[in-house]
Chain A
Amino acid sequence: MNKTINQKAWFFVIPVFILVAFNAAIPLMTVVNYSFQETFGNNVFAWEGTRWFKQILLSERFHAALGRQIAFTFIILLIQIPLGIGIALTMPKKGWGVPVCLILMSMPLLIPWNVVGAMWNIFALPDIGFLGHSLNGMGFDYNFTQQPGDAWFTTILMDVWHWTSLVVLLSYAGLNSIQPAYYQAAEIDGASRWAIFRYIELPKMKKVLTLAILLRFMDSFMIYTEPFVLTGGGPGNTTAFLSIDLVKMALGQFDLGPAAAMSLIYFFIVLLVCWVFYNLMMKNEAQS
């Protein structure tokens, strides 16, 4: 759409600008403030320069948390995106099945995150949970509170349970926007199922899939509540992702300087990746 140049449009944006600035800029300045100083309580501060940043960037604890975070995000993207597309492709296109699928599949998205964690905790407990009991019954030695591997398995399975539906809904919407004419043309050409997917469906879903990857990246990179309730970051530190580690440092140990520096580095990483994605998405939009 060709837009008119109108500087008065700023007046429309002012309420949003004020509300978000009030919420984002002021607290962010507090964080920046802490990140360069040492606090002694009672509002006494000493300038520390970039010491905290260096300390965090060189600390093994941060490297380990970042490594776990990247591994987690990578694994869940690798599972959720193909799985989501697969389910969207097999979903009914019309009839009573559509609302049933949509409602049931959206359910996990609307459950408070700590309830998701608590639910999976009860579900996976080795003695009284359905998952834990069944796995042990099948002869696996499963205990997610004791064994790091099992804790990872449970956390990933929980995230797949919680968020795959978002990818499904997005892909389904993308598929629905394809006109029947494309499929008819493919049929006349005698295209295989794979060719239809590769040359018609996938390109049409490109936009929503970029969005799905972006959203899943952002949210999984910020994940806090669900693993915190499920495993508490344990056993040991094996499932302490970035946010869990950060909250531990800030609210648990009250190391405000390093925690603030870590916040900024953390935010910067998310921002960088999202900026790349955002530009990709806008380029796609401009093309279509």
Chain B
Amino acid sequence: MKKYKWLVPTLYIIFLMLPIYWLINMSFKTTTEIINTYSLWPQKFTTENYVKIFTDSTWYMGYVNSITYTVFNTVISVAAALPAAYAFSRYKFLGDKHLFFWLLTNRMAPPAVFALPFFQFYSSVNLFDTHIAVALSHCLFNIPLAVWILEGFMSAVPKELDETAYVDGYSFGRFFFKIFVPTIAAGIGITMFFCFMFSWVELLLAKTLTATEAKPIAATMTRTASTSGYELGLLAAAGTLTIIPGAIVIYFVKDYIAKGFAMGRV
């Protein structure tokens, strides 16, 4: 029994990789080949789908836009969440528990509920179709998440650290940036990973809040699918490319992922 234990994760990983393989397989075929023949690997190997994406600005700008607002969002979320998480982990104050739950409720709000009001709201403040609008709207679910994860990591740091620093004559600012932030660096890394992840994969709000200037790659894909017939090969290549940023990010944080989850916060 124990000997065959490796089978379960192996089969699971094969199951996970199959659709991804199929997408990559499609991305190296021409659209005619995809529609007319069924084959497990490309018969006429072509990279023209990728060439098209990297030479056509409506395509590659989609990636630039997506990465831009995702990075904005990650920076804003973590910067705002750091002091707040510190307050929640160290102090009791009026309404702290209610505030914490209220923050979490925003992680629970279905984006579909907010799509229309967001559209009207960001249009009325002239931020429609900007990267910052998407980045700010993603704060809705990423800030609560960032506060939640960071609070978990900060609570694991004993309070004596703060007290010793103050006794040694550190000001709050110096203590926070010179001692505290480096101590919870792993936690900040995990938080950034999750903020990046949830902002990168979200489409409903990003699509609702943009038209041309800040259009995310995901929206470029859905619009291409409906306008120029059904260019499956191109779509598959664009899809394959959206997996890469995530894969790079995972590679860098792989050692922290298990640890981050172990804090019991996601």
- Nearest to A106 among chain B residues (CB) is B250
Q: Mark B184-214, 1 if CB is under 8 A from A, else 0.
A: 0000000000000100111110000000000
Task: List 6 extra interface pairs beyond A31-B113, A110-B247, A173-B258, CB under 8 A.
Answer: A12-B84, A16-B81, A87-B8, A120-B19, A218-B107, A285-B264
- Chain A: interface size category: 35 or more
A181 close to B (CB within 8 Å): no
CB–CB A112/B203 < 8 A: yes
Give, as a whole number of angstroms, the nearest-CB distance from A77 to chain B. Answer: 16
A242 close to B (CB within 8 Å): yes
Which 6 A-B pairs rank lowest in CB-CB distance, beginning with the nearest? A110-B246, A27-B117, A173-B261, A12-B87, A9-B91, A12-B83
Give, as a whole number of angstroms, the nearest-CB distance from A278 to chain B. Answer: 6
Q: Which residues does chain B contribute within 8 Å of A275, judged by CB atoms?
A: 101
B243 close to A (CB within 8 Å): yes
Q: Mark B223-266, 1 if CB is under 8 A from A, else 0.
A: 00100000010011001001101110111001101111110111
Please count how many residues in chain B sit with their CB below 8 Å of the partner chain's CB atoms. Answer: 100
Alpha-carbon distance A105/B254, docked complex (angstroms): 11
CB–CB A92/B6 < 8 A: yes
Q: Which residues does chain B contribute within 8 Å of A92, judged by CB atoms?
A: 6, 9
Give, as a whole number of angstroms, the nearest-CB distance from B2 to chain A. Answer: 10
CB–CB A4/B101 < 8 A: no
- In the complex where A110-B200, A110-B247, A114-B203 touch, is A221 in contact with B110 (Cβ < 8 A)? yes
B167 close to A (CB within 8 Å): no
CB–CB B200/A172 < 8 A: no
The total of Cβ contacts below 8 Å across the A-B interface reads 285
What are 18 sample pairs from A and B whose C-beta atoms fall under 8 A apart?
A: A12-B84, A16-B80, A16-B83, A16-B103, A16-B147, A20-B139, A23-B140, A105-B13, A123-B23, A164-B12, A170-B266, A172-B258, A173-B261, A176-B258, A207-B264, A211-B266, A246-B113, A267-B110
B89 close to A (CB within 8 Å): yes
- In the complex where A3-B91, A222-B112 touch, is A104 in contact with B16 (Cβ < 8 A)? yes
A191 close to B (CB within 8 Å): no
- In the complex where A115-B221, A278-B101 touch, is A13 in contact with B140 (Cβ < 8 A)? no
Mostly, the B contact residues are helix
CB–CB A90/B23 < 8 A: no
- In the complex where A15-B80, A24-B109, A119-B20 touch, is A113 in contact with B203 (Cβ < 8 A)? yes
Q: Which residues does chain B contribute within 8 Å of A215, judged by CB atoms?
A: 266
Alpha-carbon distance A15/B140, docked complex (angstroms): 13
Mostly, the A contact residues are helix
CB–CB A7/B94 < 8 A: yes
A251 close to B (CB within 8 Å): yes
Q: Which residues does chain B contribute within 8 Å of A56, judged by CB atoms?
A: none
A237 close to B (CB within 8 Å): no
A148 close to B (CB within 8 Å): no
Q: Return the contact of A218 from the options B90, B108, B236, B239 (Cβ within 8 A).
A: B108
Alpha-carbon distance A166/B139, docked complex (angstroms): 22
Alpha-carbon distance A38/B143, docked complex (angstroms): 34
CB–CB A10/B93 < 8 A: yes
B26 close to A (CB within 8 Å): yes
A243 close to B (CB within 8 Å): yes
Instruction: Select the stretch in A46-54, A127-135, A182-190 that faces chain B.
Output: A127-135
CB–CB A122/B247 < 8 A: no
